[in-house]
Amino acid sequence: MKCSATALDGVFLLEPQVFEDERGFFYESYNARRFHEATGLAPDFVQDNHSRSRRGVVRGLHYQVGVPQGKLVRVIAGSVYDVVVDLRRSSPTFGQSMGAELSSQNRRQLWVPPGCAHGFVTLSEQAECLYKTAGYWSPRHERTLLWNDPALGIDWPLPGEPILSAKDQAGTPLAQAEVFA
């Protein structure tokens, strides 16, 4: 597994070793020992989530206060532009964002540490995302950061007008958001 640090403190882009031949391919999508060796982390994954979205759907930017979740995100069909925003005041990259394309072709994964908001826009006709979470989803602790807050400076590669849920349309700007110590 190749592990690359990103512009955000504690956010990693992971690329598995893929064995491919005329039959198809095989790779380990997760191995706790290799993940720890590459990142120094040993998250306790307690939940797997699976979403499917059509082109132009923006999901996020979601995070949880009180019971923050770490997430290991990958795409098994299609392509997304995945975004992380650092909401940890004690972090040297607080308030900053980064993005990366995750796709079924590049097989990259993104580690989103607890204390960060996460979201994506679907680039392909459809995309299916799988993500492991270190922490259970808690509706009463969930918060949404405004996806297009100018203070975040996210350059979303939108193919037109975004398709948003009511919750994501009503996100909170960073200046008013609940953040982490």
49-78 pLDDT per residue, tens: 999 999 999 999 999 999 999 999 999 999
Place of tokens 């290799």: 34
Q: Which letter, b or e, does each residue of 55-79 get, where b requires 16 or more Cβ atoms within 10 Å of its Cβ? A: bebbbbbbbbbeebbbbbbbbeebb
- Residue 62: active-site member: yes
pLDDT of residue 34: 95
| Band (163; pLDDT cuts 50, 70, 90) | very high
Closest to 85 (Cα-Cα) out of 136, 132, 145: 145
pLDDT the model gives residue 146: 98
Task: Specify the pLDDT at position 168.
Answer: 98
CB of 43 closer than 8 Å to CB of 135: no
Give catalytic status of residue 81 as yes or no: no
- What is the SS3 assignment for 125? coil
Question: Which candidate in 62, 63, 81, 118 is catalytic?
Answer: 62
* pLDDT at residue 6 in the model: 97
pTM for the whole thing? 0.95
Report the distance separating Cα 52 and Cα 108, nearest Å: 17
Q: What is the pLDDT of residue 159?
A: 79
Asked if 58 contacts 121 with a C-beta cutoff of 8 angstroms, the reply is: yes
Is the confidence at residue 100, as pLDDT, over 90?
yes
Q: Which of 30, 36, 131, 136 is catalytic?
A: 131
Residue 99 has pLDDT above 90, yes or no: yes
H helices then E strands: how many in the chain? 2, 13
Sheet holding 70-77, edge to edge: 2-5, 12-15, 109-112, 70-77, 126-134, 47-54
Domains of the chain: 2-176 (2.60.120.10)
Statement: residue 94 has pLDDT above 90: yes
Pairwise CA distance, residues 129 & 14, whole Å: 15
